[in-house]
């Protein structure tokens, strides 16, 4: 299917669209990025065509695209995307018409998981749960570097499970999906900000809270400590069901290095086992995992 042993992946994010051309082994050849056009579906289609043209992608090379949300198996249209101009659109059909080449779409957390499974932190493991802790919370599952989609195409979407073990100090949080107390409302960057705000009565972005945490600020330490407890609580349910060999973590909050020391001990106490071998690893390809995973879709 691939011409000249090349692969092309595109990562469609809320702020930027990035394209990566690699050889068949995943080695980078060329890369380009543009800002995501706000509120315009047709401009997004046009930007993707421009990126392929900028990278001189051979005309018949199929393209993999990672994006927020997913394709509804019922309608073939996009749903659940926080880049809302995509929702309700027949994105794949429109892209194939516009680009004149075959297109595969996948959720961005699934692309992340595929990338880390193929040649990243999880490359030596079979059953992989990949998670993104960033503006949102996503997840994907792969077995021997093959993504598991699921009959409803929602495999790995732990971010919209309900956060377990909330206490009376934790007031209810509404999620954009219409539910309350989704894991995402606690474990995303904005979720950490809200936790910090309840402790300190001050609003700070997550990255500043993490900086204060490293300086030993008492309130930031308390917020991040609650974050670790909740991350372990939420992951323990996933481990009891899936029991993955490895959990790979990406997204902005994956850069809190204490996660990898603090979470295993908590999980060991929470899961239904007398033995805990699950590896908790930081993503190897960082911000590039989305676009790399998209290139592996063919």
Q: In the complex, what is the shortest distance from the CB of residue 15 to Zn ion, in angstroms, rounded to a whole number? A: 21
81 contributes a contact to Zn ion by CB under 5 A:
no
Handedness of CA 139, 68, 27, 297 (dihedral sign): positive
* Closer CB to Zn ion, 59 or 178, in the complex: 178
Q: In the complex, what is the shortest distance from the CB of residue 193 to Zn ion, in angstroms, rounded to a whole number? A: 17
Residues 6+ apart with CB under 8 A from 106: 64, 65, 66, 67, 70, 114, 147, 293, 294, 297
79 contributes a contact to Zn ion by CB under 5 A:
no
Q: In the complex, what is the shortest distance from the CB of residue 223 to Zn ion, in angstroms, rounded to a whole number? A: 21
Residues 6+ apart with CB under 8 A from 249: 131, 132, 133, 259, 280, 281, 282, 283
Which residues ranging from 132 to 161 are in contact with Zn ion (CB under 5 A)? 160
177 contributes a contact to Zn ion by CB under 5 A:
yes
Which of these ranges, 69-77, 175-183, 199-207, 220-228, lies near Zn ion under the rule CB under 5 A?
175-183
82 contributes a contact to Zn ion by CB under 5 A:
no
179 contributes a contact to Zn ion by CB under 5 A:
yes
- Per-residue interface string for the shown chain with Zn ion, residues 184-203, x marking contact by CB under 5 A: --------------------
Placement of tokens 């194939």 in the chain: 96
Strands 137-143 and 146-147: antiparallel
> Residues interacting with Zn ion, by CB under 5 A?
160, 175, 177, 179, 182
């Amino acid at each position: 299917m691939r011409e000249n042993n090349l692969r092309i992946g595109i990562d469609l994010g809320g702020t930027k669209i990035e394209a990566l051309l690699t050889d068949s082994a995943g080695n980078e050849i060329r890369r380009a990025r543009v800002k995501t056009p706000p509120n315009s579906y047709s401009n997004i289609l046009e930007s993707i065509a421009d990126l392929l043209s900028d990278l001189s992608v051979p005309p018949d090379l199929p393209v993999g695209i990672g994006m927020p949300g997913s394709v509804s198996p019922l309608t073939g249209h996009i749903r659940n995307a926080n880049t809302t101009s995509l929702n309700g659109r027949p994105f794949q059909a429109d892209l194939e018409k516009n680009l004149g080449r075959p297109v595969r779409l996948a959720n961005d957390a699934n692309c992340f998981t595929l990338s880390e499974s193929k040649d990243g932190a999880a490359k030596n493991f079979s059953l992989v749960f990949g998670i993104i802790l960033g503006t949102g919370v996503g997840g994907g599952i792969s077995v021997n570097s093959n993504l598991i989609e699921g009959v409803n195409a929602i495999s790995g979407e732990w971010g919209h499970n309900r956060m377990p073990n909330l206490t009376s100090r934790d007031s209810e949080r509404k999620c954009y999906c219409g539910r309350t107390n989704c894991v995402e409302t606690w474990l995303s960057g904005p979720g950490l900000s809200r936790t910090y705000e309840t402790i300190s009565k001050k609003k700070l972005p997550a990255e500043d809270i993490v900086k204060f945490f490293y300086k030993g600020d008492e309130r930031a330490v308390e917020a991040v400590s609650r974050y670790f407890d909740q991350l372990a609580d939420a992951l323990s349910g996933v481990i009891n069901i899936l029991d993955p060999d490895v959990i790979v973590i990406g997204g902005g909050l994956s850069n809190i290095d204490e996660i990898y020391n603090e979470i295993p001990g908590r999980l060991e106490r929470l899961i239904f086992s007398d033995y805990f071998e699950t590896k908790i690893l930081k993503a190897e390809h960082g911000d590039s995992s989305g676009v790399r995973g998209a290139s592996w879709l063919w």
